[in-house]
Structure 1
Amino acid sequence: MKKILFGVLGSAAMILPALGALTAGDTAPLFEARASLAGEAFDFSLTGALEQGPVVVYFYPSAFTQGCNIQAHEFAENMEQFQAAGASVIGVSLDSIERLNDFSADPNYCAGKLAVASDTTGEIARSYDLNVREGRPGATDTRGVEIDHGFAERTTFIVTGDGEIAETIGGVSPIENVQQSLESVQRLQ
Structure 2
Amino acid sequence: MNNVLNKDLGDKAPQFEAESTKGTISLENYKDKYIVLYFYPKDMTPGCTVQANEFSSLYEQFKDLDAEIIGVSRDTVSSHNIFCEKENIAFPLISDADSNLCNLYGVLKEKVNFGKKYIGIVRSTFLIGKDQSIIKIWNNVKAQGHAAEVLEAIEKL
- Range of TM-score over shorter length: 0.7 to 0.9
Partner of 1:167: 136
Partner of 2:116: none
The reply on whether 1:131 has 2:131 as its aligned counterpart is no
- TM-score by structure 2 length? 0.86
The reply on whether 1:42 has 2:23 as its aligned counterpart is yes
Alignment of 1:19-98 (within 5 A): 20-21=4-5, 24-36=9-21, 41-49=22-30, 51-98=31-78
Distance in 2 separating the partners of 1:172 and 1:60: 9
Distance in 2 separating the partners of 1:114 and 1:153: 21
> Computing the radius of gyration over CA atoms, which structure comes out larger, 1 or 2?
1
Asked if the contact 2:68–2:91 (Cα under 8 Å) also holds between the matched residues in 1, the reply is no
Give 1 or 2: higher strand fraction. 2
Q: Report the AA paired with residue 24 of structure 1.
A: L
Distance in 2 separating the partners of 1:52 and 1:19: 24
Structure 1 residues without counterparts, runs of 5 or longer: 1-17, 137-149
C-alpha displacement at 1:46, in angstroms? Answer: 1.4
CA RMSD of superposed structures (Å): 2.3
Structure 2 residues without counterparts, runs of 5 or longer: 114-118
Alignment of 1:86-165 (within 5 A): 86-106=66-86, 109=87, 111-132=88-109, 151-165=120-134
Q: Report the AA paired with residue 99 of structure 2.
A: G
Q: Report the AA paired with residue 82 of structure 1.
A: F
- The alignment partner of 2:144 has SS state of helix
Structure 1 consecutive aligned stretches of length 4 or more whose deviation exceeds 6 Å? none
- The alignment partner of 1:124 has SS state of helix
C-alpha displacement at 1:24, in angstroms? Answer: 2.2
Q: Report the AA paired with residue 95 of structure 2.
A: S
Asked if the contact 2:54–2:145 (Cα under 8 Å) also holds between the matched residues in 1, the reply is no
Which digits, 9 at most, give the CA deviation of each residue in 1:120-154, with x for residues without a partner? Answer: 01110111122255898xxxxxxxxxxxxx63210
Distance 1:63 1:23, change over 3 A: farther
C-alpha displacement at 1:52, in angstroms? Answer: 4.1
User: What is the percentage of aligned positions where both structures have the same residue?
Assistant: 29
- TM-score by structure 1 length? 0.72
